[in-house]
Copies of this chain bind each other. A is one copy, B any other.
Amino acid sequence: MTTVTIAILCGLLAVVYGIVTSQQVLRASPGNERMQDIAAAIQEGAKAYLGRQYTTIAIVGVIVAVILFATLGTLSTVGFLIGAILSGVAGYVGMNISVRANVRTAEAARTSLQGGLTMAFRSGAVTGMLVAGLGLLAIAGFFWYLTGPAGYAPNARAIVEALTALAFGASLISIFARLGGGIFTKAADVGADLVGKVEAGIPEDDPRNPAVIADNVGDNVGDCAGMAADLFETYVVTLGVTMISIALLIQASPGELMNLMSLPLIVGGVCIVTSIIGTYMVRLGSKGSIMGALYKGFWTSALLAIPAIYVATQMTLGDLNAPIGAAGFLDAPSDGVASGLGDLAATDVTGAPSADAFTGMDLFWCMLIGLAVTGLIVWITEYYTGTNYRPVKSIAKASETGHGTNVIQGLAISLEATALPTLVIVVAVVATYKLAGVIGIAFAATAMLALAGMVVALDAYGPVTDNAGGIAEMAGLDDEVRHKTDALDAVGNTTKAVTKGYAIGSAGLAALVLFGAYTTDLQTYFPDIQVDFSLSNPYVIVGLLLGALLPYLFGAFGMTAVGRAAGAVVEEVRDQFRNNPGIMQGTSRPNYGRTVDLVTRAAIKEMIIPSLLPVLSPIALYFIVTAVDGQASGFAALGAMLLGVIVSGLFVALSMTSGGGAWDNAKKYIEDGNHGGKGSDAHKAAVTGDTVGDPYKDTAGPAVNPMIKITNIVALLLLAALAGGAG
């Protein structure tokens, strides 16, 4: 049995886990009739939204597929479709279990906290394992077909292009899903809060609020389906670009290449197994700490991953101390000036890719560093968004002096929160690069993503508990139930922030790898064009500046869209209150469907232009600069844009997601009775901060991650298309 086959089996195992666990969830009691009614309304709304979203994306997808077919041929088109369809499936199935687990979590929480936790976490684990499993199946299965039945050499251009197209499919879906879902969820949330809590003076999740179902639908289509598509994309792109880099950079025999290219797949595979084991460790301890229970699962997966990765690496590569590839093809470590990828700069006109010598053991160390980065990002994110530490407490304290100081302190924290993750990423880049060059960085990113199943499980658990709380409120269950779901939900704020930091952190690591793939591709396709990527080339500055602009412009679009759509929700709800006074008296039922429909239309409309920004910008930049100053300048500007978008996107995304999480938990900290508690002036100020943080952390911030990837992948595809494609 080959390594790739084992990886495929691990992917299938994840899918089986998903099916079995789904059955367990579905077998649980869905509660009383009222609860089921509410859940049905949420299901219906979520289904309707996703149906419309996927229809719209399908139109864009078909257009893109036709362009790909015309420029790059059949294989790339097939790759694109696999990536796109499986990304959609991961989101759709995740949403489907989530909208069924919510009501069952509420029901289970009637009995015990552990019961609610188990139900919500199982649902999250289904989504998590499907993301990792389908991601692995997509890439391993396609690679198996290409190198097996289709008969390509592992480093054939066709494989590189097809894998790139697969990543593109996943990315394209994910940017639409992340942004559309993000606009939906926050427009509904902000709109419902403004008109309900602030204007009408009714509590959150009050059934009299016509936007309440839309708010709960949003949790599922944004925080569950959108997030799942995003992480599916991150998984596929990271593993894919690692394989592509190996194909492009390492010169070795086909057998050795095959082994090395299978390594990311088997690492992903064994970590699915450790993640599944981890899911069974999520249990409340004697102290009843929910975060502690979730951490038990996470740390089990992460610690078991260390020996698992070691064994997988040794089985795949054999002697871990032998240099990778045939010795003759590898440069000895160079003079320390520009080692590794530096040797591949376009001034190297020999066209022969090369890399410093490294061993399997070096790769293992790089993967350990990747796991360490994941652990550190979890820790840093908890520090910045947890209620026990200085940042959140400082925002809560600043709320005492009003709305303004709350927002000022929140912005200060959001700016500050970028520092430690950046330092971690920088140290990891240097350390892994010194161990094994660009390939080392790629494997660190791969190891990070290998834990995606567990990380997504922790994240997808959040919206289920959020929904469960809403259902408990609307169905008039005991306050005790709501207390339990609130406790479960508070932890969800931190785990949600963790996933975003993790995804963007891995993007920071992958940036250099993607850029390496770009320069190597360039050299292969256009050996005669010398591209100067030096910082003293003004077109490099131009590319860096315009790349850095993209996350800002994208963020502006996302924030404006939420503000506009939330305003529309406010108008709609005011209208229902005005025309049907029975709603507020509780004698007649509001028209939930009309609000869901309104938010659906708004989100779909608003997601299109910003999603196309990262697709079209690199293409436009290349053609404009080439027209002004030739192809070499065009390629230089385009390459620099790829780094500009990560250099600025990393900070925009980290600051928005951490800041938003901190604002949210500062509000919760006050609601726990600090600084005057619920209803105090400090609480009102904290509600403002939370509202500001909502589109920051759930719309604009997280969508920056797929935006960065898509810019990079479009650039790679553009190169292939300009060169005529391989098939």
Tell me the A residues contacting B by CB distance below 8 Å: 190, 193-194, 198, 336-338, 340-342, 344-345, 347, 398, 401-405, 407-409, 411-413, 415-416, 418-419, 422, 425-426, 429-430, 433-434, 441, 508, 511-512, 515-516, 519, 530-542, 544-546, 548-549, 552-553, 555-556, 559-560, 562-563, 566-567, 570, 628-630, 632-633, 639-640, 643-644, 647-648, 650-651, 655, 687-688, 690-692, 695-696
Residues of chain B within 8 A (CB-CB) of A512 are: 536, 538, 541
Query: A570: nearest residue on chain B (CB-CB)?
Result: B401
B628, A536: Cβ atoms closer than 8 Å: no
Given contacts A408-B559, A408-B695, 20 further A-B contacts (CB under 8 A): A190-B404, A194-B401, A198-B402, A336-B629, A337-B530, A337-B630, A337-B632, A338-B530, A345-B532, A401-B570, A402-B688, A403-B691, A407-B692, A415-B559, A422-B549, A430-B538, A533-B534, A535-B535, A545-B647, A688-B688
* From B416, B628, B643, contact of A544 by CB (8 A): B643
A408, B541: Cβ atoms closer than 8 Å: no
Residues of chain B within 8 A (CB-CB) of A340 are: 538
Given contacts A567-B401, A648-B647, A688-B407, whether A639 and B344 have CB atoms under 8 Å apart is no
Residues of chain B within 8 A (CB-CB) of A570 are: 401
Query: A650: nearest residue on chain B (CB-CB)?
Result: B545
* From B536, B560, B633, B640, contact of A516 by CB (8 A): B536
Given contacts A398-B567, A542-B429, whether A630 and B336 have CB atoms under 8 Å apart is yes
Given contacts A336-B633, A401-B570, whether A415 and B536 have CB atoms under 8 Å apart is no
* From B405, B534, B545, contact of A422 by CB (8 A): B545
Residues of chain B within 8 A (CB-CB) of A433 are: 538
* From B337, B434, B651, contact of A532 by CB (8 A): B337
Shortest CB–CB separation between residue A356 and chain B, in angstroms? 12
Shortest CB–CB separation between residue A189 and chain B, in angstroms? 11
Shortest CB–CB separation between residue A456 and chain B, in angstroms? 26
**Which residue, A193, A398, A426, has most C-beta atoms of chain B within 10 A?**
A426
A535, B422: Cβ atoms closer than 8 Å: no
Residues of chain B within 8 A (CB-CB) of A630 are: 336-337
B434, A629: Cβ atoms closer than 8 Å: yes
State A496–B532 Cα separation when bound (angstroms). 40
Shortest CB–CB separation between residue A509 and chain B, in angstroms? 10
B629, A411: Cβ atoms closer than 8 Å: no
| A-B CB proximity, top 3 nearest | A404-B691, A412-B559, A416-B556
Residues of chain B within 8 A (CB-CB) of A345 are: 532, 534, 536
Q: Please, could you name 23 A-B residue pairs with CB atoms under 8 Å apart, sorted by A?
A: A194-B401, A194-B402, A194-B404, A336-B630, A338-B530, A338-B536, A338-B537, A342-B537, A347-B347, A398-B563, A398-B567, A403-B691, A404-B687, A412-B560, A415-B553, A415-B555, A426-B542, A426-B545, A430-B628, A535-B535, A552-B651, A644-B647, A647-B648
State A441–B538 Cα separation when bound (angstroms). 10
Query: A413: nearest residue on chain B (CB-CB)?
Result: B556
Residues of chain B within 8 A (CB-CB) of A691 are: 402-405, 407-408
Residues of chain B within 8 A (CB-CB) of A336 are: 629-630, 632-633
A534, B342: Cβ atoms closer than 8 Å: yes
A545, B508: Cβ atoms closer than 8 Å: yes
Shortest CB–CB separation between residue A206 and chain B, in angstroms? 18
